[in-house]
Each structure stands twice: as structure tokens, then as C-alpha cells.
Amino acid sequence: MRSGGAGCSARLLLTSACGINVTAIQDPSLAREGEGEPEGDEEPENDSETESEPEAEADDDREVSNSTIVKEVEFGMCTVTCGIGIREVILTSGCPGGESKCIVRVEECRGPVDCGWGRPISESLERVRLACVHTSPENRFKYIWRLLRPDQQAIILANDSAILEVQRDTHPKAFECETLDNNEIVASIRFTIYTTTELQMKRASQPDTDAVLVFVLTIGVIICIFVIFVLIFIIINWTAVKDFWGAKASTTEIQSELSSMRYKDSTSLDQSPTDIPGHEDDALSEWNE
């Protein structure tokens, strides 16, 4: 019977085990022999099924444990106070390697739209370069430049790039740039372009202020350094300093005692002449008696 079963596995086309799901039989007699021992042939399949069940349960338990891991996320500070910037997304739980915090990604962040008055990125006595609020890539956004006029409607300029180069005029000018993302204004900034004369006067007044500020800061730093050195010297030579102040205090006490003694002597000398006549009068009165 066992040899027949072995021959069966060699001569039959099977899908899973001998005697089960037989697709073709070459010898009818071998087929009957195979039918005579179905129980012994089905045992390996049952064993494999029972072994696969714990493995499947273990895989399910691992999946459940992985899904129950709590991942806490916090966001870093935005790199800008207005307009468009970037910030870090930080994971505070479930980091690899047992780290307390790890950076997951960097994402875009937005602040208030109005950025107020800005400064040119570069300027000279003839030209000024202005820049809109934007992030990389620059061509992702749409830019609208306007020339602002007091009590009049602003003039929209033909320039649609993030950088605008302006030539100085005899009168100061004001420009505004709006940054749009999907036709939504995400940032707005304004600039003032001074005349050449105003710029020269502004630059001439700055050195005096800077010189005074530098002088005050230098004096303050020198005083701080001197105080620090004095404190270090006192700490290092504390015994000598203590003896010095003790000797000085004792000298002061001695001088105060001497002065008090001198004062007492002077008062006693002042009172002695007045006492003498009294004694003489007593002596004369006794002699007369």
C-alpha cells in the first residue's frame, strides 16, 4: 500500500495531495489503491492547515499592534510672520531608534496677507531692485505690481515677475506687489522709492547715529569687563581682601577711640580752673574760723 502511494505521487497529476483533486489517472488499479487509504494521505494537509492558522493569527496580532501605535505630531514655527513660508512637521512619538523627536517633513505655512512696508533687495543712487513675497519655485505664483498714487487709483504695471527694477525719479514713489496662488492673494508688500537727494541725506545722517551708538556700546562693554575682572580678583584673593578690610576697620576704631579720649581730656582741663577757686575759698573760711 505504501509503495502504491509512492507510485501514485509519481504517476498522477495532482494539485495539492495524492488522492485529492486528481485531474488524470494513468492506471485504474492504482486509482483503487489510492482510494483505499484516504485518511493517511489527508493528515499532512490537515497538519499544514493547523500550522498556518497560528501564523495567520500572529500576523493579525502584529498588524493590530502596529495600527494601535499612537503617533503624536506637532508643528514648528513658521519661518515668516506674514505671507508664505515653511515649517517643520515634528513627530514626538513613534520615532525610529527610540528618539524623542524626529522631523517628518517640511510643509508650507502662511501668515497674514499684509506684510506692510518692505526694503529693497538692492539699491544705488540710480536704480532700485524690489522683490515680491514668494517661495521656491518662483514661477508657481502670479505677481501683480502697482504704482500707488495719493488720492488716485493705482496703476497696474506690465511687469508680472517677482523682481521689479525701478529707476529713481525727482519725486518719491510707492509700489505695491501682490502675490497670488490660484487667483487667491496670499501676500502683499509695499515699497517706498526715495529720490537721489533724499537718499544722500539719509545716508549722511546715519554715520553720526552709528558712531554714537558704537561709542556707547564700547564704553558699556569696557565697564562690564572691568567689573568682571574686579569680581574675579576679589574671589581669588578673598583672604587678602578680608584681612585688608579688617585692618582698615580696626585702624578706624582706634582713631575714633583716641579722638574720644582727647575730647574727654580737653573737657576735664576746661573744668579744673573753676574748681580751684572753690577749694581756696573753703580753705580761707576754715582758717578764719
More confident residue, 85 or 209: 85
Residue 120 sits at φ, ψ, to 5 deg, of: -65, 150
Report the pLDDT value the prediction gives residue 73, as an integer from 0 to 100: 85
pLDDT given at position 187: 94
Which DSSP helix (H) or strand (E) runs through 284?
A: helix 238-288
Rounded Cα distance, 185 and 114, in Å: 10
Whether 99 has a pLDDT exceeding 60, the answer reads yes
Decide if pLDDT at 270 tops 70.
Answer: no
Q: For 152-185, what is each residue's pLDDT tens digit?
A: 899 999 988 999 999 988 889 999 999 999 999 9
Whether the Cβ atoms of residue 126 and residue 158 lie closer than 8 Å to each other? no
Q: Average of pLDDT values for 123-141?
A: 89
Give the residue extent of every domain in the chain: 73-111, 114-205
Question: Can you give the C-alpha Rg of the chain in angstroms?
Answer: 51
157, three cell numbers: 504695471
Looking at residues 11-15, what average pLDDT do you find? 37
- Express each pLDDT in 278-289 by its tens digit: 555 555 555 555
Fold of 114-205: Immunoglobulin-like (2.60.40)
Are the C-beta atoms of 154 and 188 separated by less than 8 Å?
Answer: no
User: Would you state the pLDDT for residue 247?
Assistant: 75
* pLDDT for 22: 36
pLDDT above 90 coverage of the chain, percent = 29
Check whether 135 has a pLDDT greater than 70: yes
Render 36-101 in DSSP notation, one character per residue: H-HHHHHHHHHHHHHHHHHHHHHHHHHHHHHHT----EEE---S-SSSEEEEEEEE-SS-GGG-S-
Please report the pLDDT score of residue 267 as a whole number.
Answer: 62
Most confident of the following: 54-58, 141-145, 215-219: 141-145
pLDDT of the residue at 243: 80
> What pTM was estimated for this model as a whole?
0.47
Mean per-residue pLDDT of the chain: 74
Is residue 63 predicted with pLDDT exceeding 80? no
pLDDT score of 27 more than 80: no
Whether 189 shows a pLDDT value over 80: the answer reads: yes
Q: What is the DSSP letter of 223?
A: H
Q: Are 102 and 90 in contact (CB under 8 A)?
A: yes
Among the residue ranges 16-30, 74-88, 117-131, the one predicted with the least confidence is 16-30
More confident residue, 225 or 41: 225
pLDDT band for position 92 (cuts 50, 70, 90): confident
Q: Give the model confidence (pLDDT) of 201-228 as tens digits.
A: 877 766 656 677 888 899 999 999 999 9
pLDDT: which is higher, 241 or 81: 81
In this predicted model, which residue has the larger pLDDT, 2 or 255?
Answer: 255
